[in-house]
Structure 1
């Protein structure tokens, strides 16, 4: 029933991780959020919103993993979350929890949580490291496995649950949402540290026309909700926020171009109406769905993600 996909840590590596410190490795500098490119709005994320899908509560259970390993920065100091995918079609979170609890000493692999379309099950304290993505990533990150779904609705619900789990852990440990830094795929850690060859969940996401950047946008949505900031909801009428920012519904597309760079920068709006620079951008000569615009300091900004906006200096708007 279960594949061998999770047999990624050699016995030698596993033994090394049980000691006082982590094995020394040659590290490659992680990609920063600025090096990641934002894609167009995701139909899966839109489906989640349109269907009113809400994440389930996190269940906390004590698993059988009896290794209490500090992160490289100490107990309770993870640096982010690595997102995995189980590669076991038909297996639920309950199935995976049972399998890993029974077999981790043999397969030398364990993660913090498993997520499917109906459950989020945390089986090891995220204050401590686990064995899931190679020694360097293990020493830095919380790790969660996403179970495979067979329907669009199941995939959407599982992704919502997974993004909520990631957002809750980032909030718990006071970490921001940063693609490629605090939220990473196993694929990314493989490329960054060269200690595993796994590429999940990239291939699985692609089957649903989904990507990690779109997943991170969903994480950001739940992160904002957990922090009480939420996101603006279109009402079809003009509104005014603090700071005199005028917002209105403007559904259509924006085509971006920045002659001084390869991408157009994005900004976020603070609760007082001021802007803050994002470290992400949109590739030149690409089009993006937008559902809202704001007028601020004589410029129009178009929303392309939950709280990411591109200024009219770099954008040409076409109404839907």
Structure 2
């Protein structure tokens, strides 16, 4: 009887130990899964940043842990790549270089050092932007995107090409003439407003048949003062970053192979065809020269988009 009782006690102890080991193993697995980041996309950049006072720096993304290396928040650091995290578009990591070694920091803990005068102006103003207003028109045809996912793969930038027009007049004209022109964009952006007039879940018809099925599109009426122009560019960058973030897409310039997420109408004409428009090149360059005595190109805009993207 005593032997049987001892055997039962040993079995209970064995089961207890096995159960305890299973609990510890499960806890470790959950912790490891929580600490390990799965990268869904990454893209190269050439940027200089400063770090916030609360920035946490990591040695690795695969088994994320804080580094013991000391970083000076008053110093600048080179960023050579961004990493998007799978299933979590709100977490983006910048890869920074320090003493020849790569480290990682949340993009929200970085501040891009701007070199373009207009981008500097916007940065010094605290990266302002209007809220997105939705006034969806029933006038425009709703067609699915042509992507495998059914979602847009980037953003196309237009300017209206009309002097002294307003968002209201442009929207009114677009709605009134859609039956004959078959042209519309998702959103209009000026210095004070981001007005979404067509559901971005469906394609627009503003950049020709080779681009329409793949991109969110917005138009910019012309602005005529330095503050207004800068605010419009800021709103445009915010709207672009917002749409890329929604799709967990990188901030990359369109290219001749059809890749990239940020496009001008002019780039569509050059690389994709089906249209011959050159906007917003002359509007940006002329306004930048007149109002800020500088230049402004898609490269400058992409850096600004990244700055807004990093803070989302």
Deviations, residues 82-108 of structure 1 (Å, cap 9, x unaligned): 011111121122221222122211222
Counterpart selection for 1:77 from 133, 151, 176: 151
Unaligned runs of 5+ in 2: 1-42, 47-113, 255-259, 289-294
Assess if the C-alpha contact under 8 Å between 2:127 and 2:308 holds in 1. no
1:45 and 1:111 map into 2 onto residues whose CA distance is: 26
Equivalent residues in 2 for 1:91-102, closer than 5 Å: 91-102=165-176
1:213 aligns with 2:213: no
Counterpart selection for 1:131 from 189, 192, 205: 205
Deviations, residues 10-63 of structure 1 (Å, cap 9, x unaligned): xxxxxxxxxxxxxxxxxxxxxxx8799xxx821001111223451000001111
Between the two proteins, the alignment pairs up a number of residues equal to 193
CA separation of 1:204/1:66 partners in 2, compared to 1, >3 Å: closer, same or farther? Answer: closer
Displaced runs of 4 or more, over 4 A: 33-36
Unaligned runs of 5+ in 1: 1-32, 227-320
Q: For residue 74 of structure 1, report the CA deviation from its aligned partner.
A: 5.3
1:106 corresponds to which residue? Answer: 180
Deviations, residues 229-252 of structure 1 (Å, cap 9, x unaligned): xxxxxxxxxxxxxxxxxxxxxxxx
1:204 corresponds to which residue? Answer: 283
1:120 and 1:95 map into 2 onto residues whose CA distance is: 15
1:137 and 1:35 map into 2 onto residues whose CA distance is: 25
Root-mean-square deviation (CA), in Å?
2.3
Assess if the C-alpha contact under 8 Å between 2:210 and 2:273 holds in 1. no
1:185 aligns with 2:300: no
1:98 and 1:215 map into 2 onto residues whose CA distance is: 28
Larger relative contact order (Cα-Cα within 8 Å, sequence gap ≥ 6): 1
Q: TM-score, normalised by structure 1?
A: 0.57
1:173 aligns with 2:247: yes
Q: TM-score, normalised by structure 2?
A: 0.58
Larger Rg: 2
Higher helix residue share:
2
1:158 aligns with 2:244: no
